[in-house]
Amino acid sequence: MKYYIIAGEASGDLHASNLMKELKVLDPEAGFRFWGGDRMLAQGGEMVKHIREMSFMGFWEVMVNLRAILKSLEICKKDILAWRPDVLILVDYPGFNLRMASFAKAHGIRVIYYISPQIWAWKQSRVKKIRSDVDKMLVILPFEPAFYKKFGVEVEFPGHPLIDAIEDFKNERLKPGFLAENGLSEKPIVALLPGSRKQELASNLRIMTAMAKHFSDYQFVVAAVKSCPEDFYQKQVKGTSVKIITGQTYQLLAHSKAALVASGTATLETALMGVPQTVCYRAGKISYFIAKQLVKVKYISLVNLIADRLLVQEMIQHRFNSDNLKNELNRLLHDQDYIQTIREGYQNLHEQLGGSGASRNAAKIIHTYLAGN
């Protein structure tokens, strides 16, 4: 079977790579061609374009880069027709992937969407395109099946793949020599997870790194991603004591007392690793203004959305400032009752997301569907 997979972000690269791993077990003849990242590349197959060339965020940023995005769409369309896959598997990344779903459907290629776009937050009208252009939808958040059912769309919930990824890490890859190998001291660590795109890194890191001077008994460490050059991080932390470690986010979280985390999948990863956190985010003014008019959810972090309450604090736009962050970080590090409340909430979150085997379940659903159609 020939699988064409499109993932446009770091989280999509992670989940798609785990799906590829499980598909190879079920289909030893599987061939992959994809848009993705290093994790997908490690599973084999041919990469068309890396996620570092695709990660545009915010309304204004997308408009500025519209020509590049449109060019990528044309490249993708031609490539799909040339390779003629048995199935197109789309992983989140809705602005791009929903267009590719329509294209593939029009050319008789089966379309499976793995990890739903967050249409429950905004652009609910996209459910019409999903209903018409997607043959099979798999979701990973526990409240999504009920949302889709309201629109007459049946979806499947295989569980959340992060549980597997983190359990695998805890069982096999936790390094006891992590501190020494990375030149870190024995001081307790505060992890900084500022995002994976340059726009959000620049917006978030300046205020995050400013915390180091207020908490001298702790060492602050940035979880850098490989898709962003190290010199870009170095510019952001220049003049501070903040350290940078690349490609070892789970190792860093496993050794951290608290974390400052940009909104996104990282908030859920931090929760499943059991690390008390504050969610921090600042978007461009134009993008934020537009988002305020369109987004229809109470919270921006997946942790709070799944818990359906303010389990971890969210510091967005004007609330994301040094004074607020200093006060909240002090609570995360020293208020034991507060820390315990967060950790109990994390345990409930884990149960809501289902048990282990989500990637395997998703692969079985896809394999069974393709075999019967």
Whether pLDDT at 287 is above 80: no
C-alpha separations of 288 from 207, 284, 293, 317 in Å: 18, 6, 9, 8
Cβ atoms of residues 193 and 223 within 8 Å? yes
Spatial distance between the Cα atoms of 190 and 331, rounded to a whole number of angstroms = 13
| Helices marked H in 55-160 | 59-64, 66-83, 94-106, 126-133, 144-149
**Architecture in CATH for domain 165-352:** 3-Layer(aba) Sandwich (3.40)
Residues 6+ away with beta carbon under 8 Å from 102: 129, 133
Please name every residue paired with 316 in a beta bridge, in sequence order, or none if there are none. 281
The yes-or-no answer to whether 2-159+357-372 and 165-352 have a common fold is: yes
What pLDDT is attached to residue 151?
A: 92
Other CB atoms closer than 10 Å to residue 281's CB: what's the count? 23
Residues 326-350: pLDDT tens digits?
A: 999 999 999 999 999 999 999 999 9
pTM of the model: 0.82
What pLDDT is attached to residue 163?
A: 92
Domain residues of the chain, as ranges?
Answer: 2-159+357-372, 165-352
Percentage of the chain exceeding pLDDT 70: 91
Residue 143: name the closest of 292, 297, 365 by CA.
Answer: 297
Other CB atoms closer than 10 Å to residue 129's CB: what's the count? 18
How sure is the predictor about 300, in pLDDT bands with cuts at 50, 70 and 90? Answer: confident
Spatial distance between the Cα atoms of 233 and 243, rounded to a whole number of angstroms = 10
Residues 6+ away with beta carbon under 8 Å from 343: 274, 276
Fold (topology level) of 2-159+357-372: Rossmann fold (3.40.50)
Helical (H) or strand (E) element with 110: strand 110-114
Mean pLDDT of 37-42: 94
Please name every residue paired with 190 in a beta bridge, in sequence order, or none if there are none. 220, 258
Cβ atoms of residues 56 and 4 within 8 Å? no
What pLDDT is attached to residue 284?
A: 52
Residue 211: name the closest of 253, 164, 260, 174 by CA.
Answer: 260
Cβ atoms of residues 283 and 58 within 8 Å? yes
Q: Which residue has the tokens 């068309």?
A: 48
Q: Helix, strand or coil for residue 329?
A: helix
Cβ atoms of residues 327 and 128 within 8 Å? no
Q: Helix, strand or coil for residue 135?
A: coil
Residues 1-33: pLDDT tens digits?
A: 999 999 988 889 989 999 999 999 999 999 999
